[in-house]
Each structure stands twice: as C-alpha cells, then as structure tokens.
Amino acid sequence: MILTIHRGSKQIGGSCVELRSASGDRILLDVGMPLTQPDGSDWPRGTMSRPGEELRREGVLPDIDGLYAGSSPEISALVLSHAHLDHYGLAHYVHPDIPVYGSRGTIEMLRASKLFVPDAAVPADLRELPNAGTVPIGSFSVRGIPVDHAAPDSRALLVEADGQRLLYSGDLRAHGRQRHLFDELPYAAGAIDVLVLEGTTVGQAQGSHGFADEGEVESRLTELLRHDRGLVVVIASGQNIDRAISVYRAALAAGRELVIDPYQAYALMTLRDVCPEAPQFDWPSVRVKFIPYHVAKLKDAGFWELACKMSRAGKVSLEQLAANPSGFVYLARSSGATVKLLRSLARTTRPTIVWSQWSGYLKKGGPVPSFCDENGIEPYIIHSGGHAHPEDLADLARRLHARAVVPIHTEAASQFADFIQNVRVVNDGEAVEVASLIAGYNGEAS
Ligand SMILES: [Zn+2]
C-alpha cells in the first residue's frame, strides 16, 4: 500500500488521506474542509457551494486526479470517519459515481444538516458502513471501528490491502461517555502495521480543551442549574450528543426542563437507535421551542406530521419561558435565532449563558458572544474537548503496538516522538510505501 496524506500532516482540520494498493486501486479517507483560511481568517459565507474547479485551483479542494465531478472517476470510494465538517465538508464535490461510506450516525447527521442548514450539500451516493465486519472496496477491505468522540457514531478506519494493515484514528478521545471504546480499540483492531494518529492536543496548553471529562461537565452543569435563579442557556454544537445527554441529566438533577429547537429535536430523533441515551422530544422534561425557520424546513421536507407531534409532545412558548425562567435550561447553538429568542426574553429575564464548546470560538465572536458583549454578560465556560489528551494518545499507541505511527490532525507532528515510539512524520502530498514506513521497525524499546 502507498499512503499519501493530501492534507492534515501539519494542521488541524481539512484531513484527507489516500491509499493506493499494489493493483492500483485507490481509496480516500475523509475529505475535510480546513477550519480556517491559510491566513487564519474564517471562510467567506458560501465557500462550500462555490464551483469545484475554482476551489481546486485555489487549493481548497485537494489536488487529486480522478476524484471530482467533471473528470472520469478513478477513486474506488471515499470513507468518512465522522460528521465534523473538517472531515467531511468537501465530500459533496466528489464525483457522483464514487460511493461515499459513513456510519449510520454520520449519514444521519449529514442528512439532518442538509435539511436545516442553508447551502449544505451531501454526497450523491451515500452508503452505510456496517457496524460489524468489513466492506470490500476493490482490493481493499475496510472496517469502521467505533470510537469515542464529540460527533455521534464516530469511527476509526482499519484498511487492509497487500497483506498490510493501516489504522486511521479519525478523531478520538478517552474521556467522553463512550470511553470504553477507547479501551477496546486495540482488541477490535488487532495487529496493525501503520497507525495514522490524530494529535489535536499535542503541543497545546493543558486545559485549553476544557474540563478533564464529560462527567465533570455534567456535574458543573448540575451545580449551576441548581443554584442559578434564571433561565440558563447552554451553547453547544448540535452534533455533540454527549453534551445534549449531559445537559438533560443535569436538568433532571436540578428539577428543570430541557428545551431544544426542532433541528436539535430532529437530529436527536434520527440518532435514537445509535445513541439510546440521547434525549428525545417526547421524553419527560423535554420541551421544544419552535423556530419558524425550522418548522418551515420540516414542512418542506414532508415532515409536517412530525412537527405536529413535536408540538403535542411538549411545545413551550416564549410566554412560558418568561413566566418561569428558572424552570428551564435551553440548549442551543450560537445562531441568529438564539439571539432573537434571548432578545425577546430580555425584557423579563436576564439569562445566564454557558459556553459549552471550544473557548477559541467564543473569542472569535459570533451571534451569542456579541449578545453577551452588548449586555455585559460574562458566559460560563463549561466544556470538555473531543480529542484525546497526549498521555491518552501515548497509551493508545503503546497498546496498539503499531510498527509505525504517522501524525495527522496536529500542529505539532514533530513533538509526537517525545512521547510515542516509532513515529514517522510524513508531509502533505508525499507518497510513501507502507513497507518503507515500517522498514526501520526494530520492535519496542524497553
Ligand atoms: Zn471531529
């Protein structure tokens, strides 16, 4: 097998990995949107719906022959590790004849975003990566192994060809609600030759990814919800299902009701089989605050009956929130719709804002941070990140006994070797034989 990291060897986000077998078959693992432009600024709105030829010329789309619409397809398949934009965000540019695989949860999240998010697009030929067993793709066999991460139903991807086995970690951590998956990964993967390992937290200040684990997030939220006397608004990613569970559990413990919007209610509903703990709109103490745009989207997609069901199960009005603010916790995203609601409530109640995602996004600004600034509100930051701490990465690498470890999704590839053995740094665009990566392997040092 030949490994090429098209993007991600020296940056966080925008990952794209290609594997080529001896018979010439090629597959891709992830085609992510970089988190920012090369100068660090945000992408202009609408970038992800611009013509593919332009984006390829500008280097936004990786320069890969035979991948995109408009050329003849030469890639056997794209396999997605999880539903974060920095891993799947450019997948809709892939040639419509190239199948795109993802776990059930990944596919549901892509479809939910297409329903509610303006300009969101999904690949033409989406296929489900089975929960167990391998998928044959040309001369490769591919298996998705469940991992603990901040996106639901995330996978590490184990690829075999030419008698070699490569494990791509995707994004993972050891401190979420599914920590056991981290412990089980070496048993699920078996012997591997090359580990392509994410290293988001490597080289970053301790604590920059929030509290130690999701359990601590839940207990901090519970404490706050018990003592605060007003409406508490928790701002988190709509895909962070662990966080939705934590907020719900904290609400129950504090005697409050969880309020979600129809987008969140819909996303959680599509995941009920994959994440049985994910709170559902028809569960006790779950209410839905209707947002006209979301309701219109449900109606357009033929889900009017579902909207009626959400309404019957627990619609909550602005007046009800205003009359009893301490009876609720509102889980939402940093959007214009959230700010509109906060403004409507401002006449009667001063909300407490909890920022429950990466603190870097708070500094960058956006609708809710601006609202906080305008109103002199200092948000609480209660968060735990989606990426393994360096000591957990070291532990995983040790237990996997990989013959070569290749850093990805990191700004500190050169620091991997400080705490992991057999590290081989590969540059973006460099095609390397797996055989040469493992050639220098002399077993494990003591
Ligand atoms: Zn991720």
Neighbour count for residue 49 (Cβ, 10 Å): 12
Tell me the CA–centroid distance for residue 169 and ligand 1, in Å: 11
Rounded-to-integer distance, Cα 113 and Cα 238, Å: 10
* Range of lowest pLDDT (73-82, 225-234, 361-370): 361-370
Residues around ion ligand 1, judged by CB within 5 A, are 84, 171
CB 261 within 8 A of CB 332: yes
When the pLDDT of each residue in the chain is averaged and rounded to a whole number, the result is: 94
State pTM to two decimals: 0.94
For residues 17 and 78, give the distance between their C-alpha atoms in angstroms, rounded to a whole number. Answer: 10
pLDDT of residue 443: 64
Distance 287 CA to ligand 1 centre (A): 28
Q: Dig out the tokens for 270 from the structure.
A: 């599509």
Cα 268 to ligand 1 centroid, rounded to whole Å: 18
Mean pLDDT for the stretch of residues 198-218: 89
Tell me how far the alpha carbon of residue 342 is from its chain's centroid.
27
pLDDT digits (tens, 9 = 90+) for 373-404: 999 999 999 999 999 999 999 999 999 999 99
Farthest-apart Cα atoms in the chain, separation: 69
Q: What is the pLDDT of residues 280-296, one digit of tens each?
A: 999 999 999 999 999 99
Q: How far apart are CA 384 and CA 218, in angstroms?
A: 10
Neighbours of 280 (CB within 10 A): 15
- Partnered with residue 108 across adjacent β-strands are none
259 alpha carbon – ligand 1 mean position (Å): 25
What does the alpha-carbon distance between residue 38 and residue 35 come to, in Å, rounded to a whole number? 9
Q: Domain 2-205+386-437: what homologous superfamily?
A: Ribonuclease Z/Hydroxyacylglutathione hydrolase-like (3.60.15.10)
Structure tokens at 89: 């965000």
Residue pair 385/209 in contact (Cβ under 8 Å)? The answer is yes
Q: pLDDT band for position 446 (50/70/90)?
A: very low
Query: Phi-psi bin for 128: left (phi > 0), alpha (psi -120 to 50), beta?
Result: beta
Spacing, Cα 339 to ligand 1 middle (Å): 26
Q: 124 CA distance to ligand 1 centroid (A)?
A: 22
- For CATH 3.40.50.10710, the residue range(s) in the chain are 214-381
Pick the CATH number of 214-381 from 1.10.3720.10, 3.40.1800.10, 3.90.1720.10, 3.40.50.10710: 3.40.50.10710
Interval between CA 36 and ligand 1 midpoint (Å): 15
